[in-house]
Structure 1
Amino acid sequence: MDALDRKILTELQQDGRLTVTELAARVKLSVSPCHRRVRDLEKSGAIRGYRAVVDPPALGLNFEALVFVTLRWEDSDTVTAFEEGVADVPHVIQAQRLFGEPDYLLRVATADLAAYQQLYDQRLATLPGVQRLTSTLVMKHVVDDRPLPQ
């Protein structure tokens, strides 16, 4: 990946709806080579896809919590069962496995505190292998969905 590919990635992270013509103009390249580079970046996996960034409150998701999860056991069956279970919870919008304690960090979005409590009691606390859940409520987003540095 060279500097031109990085410029293309920077522009597409800022606006994934750019036409190839607009993108080519921004990175100072003709259309055909620019299109070829974008296709190559897609094929290599550097560009994983395109999506709309949706405002959670527009969907009625006004409450967000970060949930730290400690598993009772960390054998492969428990880890697999937990990860499959958490992947089936639509309100978990991010899940990351961590080194050390705790084992996982979940980002959860719900309508309000009552909806979060119900999700916590009925889904999160019943996930396979869960020993402890610790929640932290999100007050506000200071940096959110920032493009990756080049």
Structure 2
Amino acid sequence: MQLDEFDRKIIAALREDARMPVAQVAERAALSATPVSRRIKRLEDEGVIRGYAPVLDPRKLGLELEAYVLINLNAHIDENIARFEQAIAENPHVIACHAVTGDMDYLVRVMARNVEHLSQITLRTLLRIPGVRDVKSIIVLETVKETQPVPLD
């Protein structure tokens, strides 16, 4: 879908505050409220805007540690992949999982209370998923940049 300048301004305003009143979004987009409402509805209907969610501060919830875990499966058979992906989907501390190219099969983003908790998640959960061969963890020391991942260029 092609986004025009008005769509980009609307999305930028909603990224800043998804609860922003339509009149305020309209002001930022230099349109009146009615066309902005129609554009937002179209962006939602076409799946460009997939939803709205609060942005949580993990530290305020006791999750002080973020890590990326690289995982290899011992065999790339459908049963192993299905079991692994089901276990990942059910793990509340896994906030993202990507099948990747290179030496590892999956890149998993994990939020934990501390190093001991990460160890429990890694050794007692991820490594014990049937079909998992190898697990390597990378602990985040500092986040330099983090934005909503879809650029509007």
TM (norm. structure 2) is 0.92
Aligned residues: CA RMSD: 1.3
Deviates more, 1:129-138 or 1:92-101: 92-101
Gaps of 5+ in 2: none
Aligned to 2:101: 99
Number of residue pairs the alignment of both structures matches: 150
Q: Equivalences for 1:7-86 in 2 at 5 Å?
A: 7-86=9-88
Aligned to 2:120: 118
SS in 2 for 1:140: coil
Task: Indicate the percent of aligned positions where both proteins have the same amino acid.
Answer: 37
Q: Is the 8 A contact 1:85 1:128 kept in 2?
A: no
Partner Cα separation in structure 1 for residue 95 and residue 101 of structure 2: 20
Partner Cα separation in structure 2 for residue 39 and residue 128 of structure 1: 44
Deviation at 1:147, TM superposition (A): 5.7
User: CA 1:128 to 1:7, structure 2 compared with 1: closer, same or farther past 3 Å?
Assistant: farther
Partner Cα separation in structure 1 for residue 101 and residue 118 of structure 2: 26
SS in 2 for 1:144: coil
Aligned to 1:130: 132
4+ residue stretches of structure 1 with deviation over 6 A?
none
